[in-house]
Amino acid sequence: MFFDALKGELPESLSVDVCIIGAGVAGITIAKQLKNEGLRIALVESGGLQLNPDVQDLYNGENIGLPYDPLDACRLRFFGGTSNHWGGWTRPMDRVDFEKREWIPWSGWPITLDDVAPYYEQAQNLVEVDGTPYDAEFFSPESSTNYLVDRANIETKIFKLSPPTRFLKSYKVDFNDAHSVVVLLNSNVVDFVLSESGKTVQAAQIKTLAGKNTAVTATHFVLACGGIENARILLNCRKANKSGLGNDDDLVGRFFSDHDGILSGNAVLGQRLLKSTFYQLHVPEIVRKAGLNTRIVPAFTLAEKILREKSLPNFNTYVLPVPDNAKAKGSLSIYPDIEGLVNFVEGTPLHPAGSRRFFQLVTAFENTPNPNSRVMLGDKRDALGLLRCKLNWQRSDNDEILARRLTMEFSRQFALAGLGRVNIDKDNIWPQKSLEIGRHHMGTTRMSSSPKHGVVDKNCRVHTTNNLFVAGSSVFASYGFAQPTLTIIALALRLSSHIKQQVSRA
């Protein structure tokens, strides 16, 4: 059932079992999971059913760190959240992404891939990609086209593309007649009412842009407003603790990260590799595997044992054809000769004149968590009276070290596998100049086993509270390279199970 506060439909008070704040991918997933479990649910959404500039303005903020998108442009504040403009790329995180690795300070989750893996298939269904594995081996044997390359230590990673699923369009219908779920639109959570001990959230205080107020009481609260806004809301709750709710150890908002991409090099490919259709299939040329409706995109990576042996971050590298005019700069002007060398060594014929193809390598890798990269509160207030966001995005110094190391190692392994040769523009590989970031906001309420190292525990509960949970990529402790949406959904499904169990026990 939908109630629009701006249409005067805001109830004077509301008491439910679970109050979910934010109707984006995570919030909607949890509400869908719990709505048939005999629980009363409130799904509180700041926006309505379409973009409203006044509501979107609540996202405005200040960037004081590395150049970043305007904060009101890289996310959407209405039912469905940022799924209303996401690109649709999906991939689970890898096992190594959850592990603590000495060469990546602050890396590691208090859970493993095994804790999340059972939820990935259902997550795939929610974003309308088929439930088959993301393993290259699954696609390779039965494929009629040779688009996978696994040689020596070079491996292929698979991405699957969602249509992309817009959660507004696809899942609003689930709540139209759901009597167990009250969806409050244009309703903003501006504070939490805590018990005397300060450990239990008793109510979420709600305010509208028209100045109306109400409160939702519940036994469980889930904050699901996105990687930046989750931290901002906690930091703005300063009645009990001036540093913010759950922020006793000054960790809320820290470890903000995005997924970096670098132009890691240019490649000349041997004729043998060029015959593979692999290289015809990358963005924007995407394959549709026979018999499946899901489009997939393959990319290179290195074997996990090499990542460990060489102390490298997890990463993937796309091979993108580039126009011939891009080849005539600097050392790249000799690429036809390198191509000649490669083909001579490989025993394959030289390309006919004018038919050479030149390729650019684009690498996305996991950034090192950086406590000094953070979401903070600025001095200005929004229309609700909350302090606006001040984002200070900073990369770790370790990122450059790892980026250079992985680029060199990838180049070596690429040649060792007989795939071609790579040119690294070592003077310009770092800092990145032009490549777009992922707009994946992660890490600001990171998961940890101890409150000294993070904001939420392994069940996504804020360490300092009994009943406030956080959903979304803000809980990511380290980031992998995969787009976060599928893991956000898998974690939301896992959190739904946890809450259901807790309520059952109660």
Partner 1 sequence: MPEYLVGRRKFIALTLASCLSMRSWDVIAAEQEHGALLQILTVISTHQDFFKHLGRVYAKDAQSALVKFIDEFGLVNRFPSVEEFRFLLQERIQNDFLRGDVLSVGGWVLSPTEVLFCGALLAQAHRSH
The residues that touch partner 1, with contacts defined as CB under 8 A, are: 265, 330-334, 336-338, 340-341, 344-347, 408, 411-413, 415-416, 421-426
Instruction: Report the nearest approach of partner 1 to the CB of residue 436 (Å).
Output: 23
Instruction: Report the nearest approach of partner 1 to the CB of residue 477 (Å).
Output: 32
Token pair for residue 447?
């998961």
> Treating both helix axes as pointing N-terminal to C-terminal, what angle do 485-505 and 25-34 enclose, rounded to 10 degrees?
40
Instruction: Report the nearest approach of partner 1 to the CB of residue 331 (Å).
Output: 3
Q: Dihedral sign, CA of 17, 454, 22, 125?
A: negative
Instruction: Report the nearest approach of partner 1 to the CB of residue 333 (Å).
Output: 6
Nearest to partner 1 of 324, 337 (CB atom): 337
Q: In this structure, are residues 252 and 258 in contact, taking their beta carbons and an 8 Å threshold? A: no
Place of tokens 């150890």: 249
What does each C-alpha distance from 221 to 135, 190, 192, 229, 468 come to in angstroms?
36, 14, 10, 16, 5
Nearest to partner 1 of 73, 328 (CB atom): 328
Place of tokens 């893991």: 487
> Rounded to 5 degrees, what are φ and ψ at 87?
-85, -20
Q: Classify strands 89-90 and 154-161 as parallel, antiparallel or unpaired.
A: antiparallel
Nearest to partner 1 of 155, 229 (CB atom): 155
Q: Dihedral sign, CA of 129, 130, 133, 138?
A: negative
Token pair for residue 481?
């390279």
Angstrom distance (rounded) from CA 320 to CA 184: 45
What does each C-alpha distance from 319 to 71, 266, 280, 312 come to in angstroms?
31, 9, 9, 20
Instruction: Report the nearest approach of partner 1 to the CB of residue 332 (Å).
Output: 8
Instruction: Report the nearest approach of partner 1 to the CB of residue 266 (Å).
Output: 8
In 10 A of CB 360, how many CB atoms? 16
Nearest to partner 1 of 144, 434 (CB atom): 434
Instruction: Report the nearest approach of partner 1 to the CB of residue 416 (Å).
Output: 4
Nearest to partner 1 of 210, 345 (CB atom): 345
Nearest to partner 1 of 363, 423 (CB atom): 423
Token pair for residue 169?
């369009």
Q: Tell me, what DSSP letter sits at residue 58?
A: G
Instruction: Report the nearest approach of partner 1 to the CB of residue 420 (Å).
Output: 11
Nearest to partner 1 of 195, 428 (CB atom): 428
Nearest to partner 1 of 137, 337 (CB atom): 337
Q: Which amino acid is at 257?
A: S
Q: Which amino acid is at 404?
A: R
Instruction: Report the nearest approach of partner 1 to the CB of residue 353 (Å).
Output: 12
364: buried, middle or exposed (CB in 10 Å: 19+, 13-18, 0-12)? buried
Nearest to partner 1 of 85, 151 (CB atom): 151
Q: In this structure, are residues 21 and 225 in contact, taking their beta carbons and an 8 Å threshold? A: yes
Helix (H) or strand (E) holding 403: helix 397-416
Angstrom distance (rounded) from CA 180 to CA 49: 20
Nearest to partner 1 of 416, 435 (CB atom): 416
